[in-house]
């Protein structure tokens, strides 16, 4: 097979644009598969697949109509997503409540959860590489940990009974002064 030699700079740019478009389309298809796997794991209550995909790869490759290597890489990314989500939020990923949001070119992803929205972050948290060959860094977590989402407001953590006791005590103390 002969090497491709561009005739002009415009030809080289068109070929590069076509390759970028092809790879973006393949990443989008993979992202759709990952979402399907995450929701299937939640529906099947398959908790053991968060650690290993042993025995499930061949079944998934038949259902999704992909090769065993692709199915194995998809399961590896699913396990990586569970690990990153657990490190960041301190709980398991729930597809009903949490979202994975990809960048416009499906190159990186982040998470949107109820905790992040309550904390005032409407956009995705985290900037993780979609490619399993690339390692995430501490910068991927954007400085967030499990402790970032803990409620530090004392009164919101009180039960109704304890809140009434605290308010009654402070009201009595205040009324004695006046």
pLDDT tens profile 22-74: 988 988 998 888 888 888 877 777 666 666 667 778 888 888 899 988 888 88
In a domain, 152, yes or no: no
In a domain, 163, yes or no: no
How far, in Å, CA of 125 to CA of 110, rounded?
5
Q: Give, in order, the Cα–Cα distances in Å from 88 to each of 14, 98, 109, 127.
A: 41, 13, 14, 12
In a domain, 36, yes or no: yes
Residue in the structure block whose two tokens are 């103390």: 173
Residue 9 pLDDT greater than 90, yes or no: yes
User: Which residue range is the domain that position 73 belongs to?
Assistant: 9-147
In a domain, 117, yes or no: yes
pLDDT for the residue numbered 22 = 92
State the total domains in the chain: 1
Q: Give, in order, the Cα–Cα distances in Å from 112 to each of 27, 29, 60, 108, 126.
A: 20, 21, 27, 14, 9
Q: H-type helices in 90-153, by residue range?
A: 114-118
Q: H-type helices in 45-159, by residue range?
A: 57-64, 68-89, 114-118, 154-157
In a domain, 44, yes or no: yes
């Amino acid at each position: 097979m002969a090497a491709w030699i561009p005739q002009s700079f415009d030809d080289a740019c068109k070929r590069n644009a076509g390759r970028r478009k092809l790879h973006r389309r393949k990443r989008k298809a993979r992202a759709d598969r990952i979402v399907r796997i995450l929701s299937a794991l939640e529906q099947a209550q398959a908790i053991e697949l968060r650690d290993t995909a042993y025995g499930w790869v061949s079944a998934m490759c038949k259902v999704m109509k992909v090769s065993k290597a692709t199915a194995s890489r998809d399961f590896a990314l699913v396990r990586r997503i569970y690990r990153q989500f657990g490190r960041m939020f301190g709980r398991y990923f729930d597809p009903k409540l949490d979202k994975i949001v990809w960048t416009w070119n499906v190159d990186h992803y982040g998470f949107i959860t109820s905790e992040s929205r309550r904390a005032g972050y409407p956009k995705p948290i985290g900037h993780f590489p979609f490619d399993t060959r690339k390692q995430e860094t501490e910068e991927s977590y954007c400085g967030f940990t499990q402790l970032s989402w803990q409620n530090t407001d004392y009164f919101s953590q009180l039960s109704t009974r304890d809140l009434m006791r605290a308010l009654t005590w402070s009201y009595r103390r205040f009324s004695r002064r006046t």
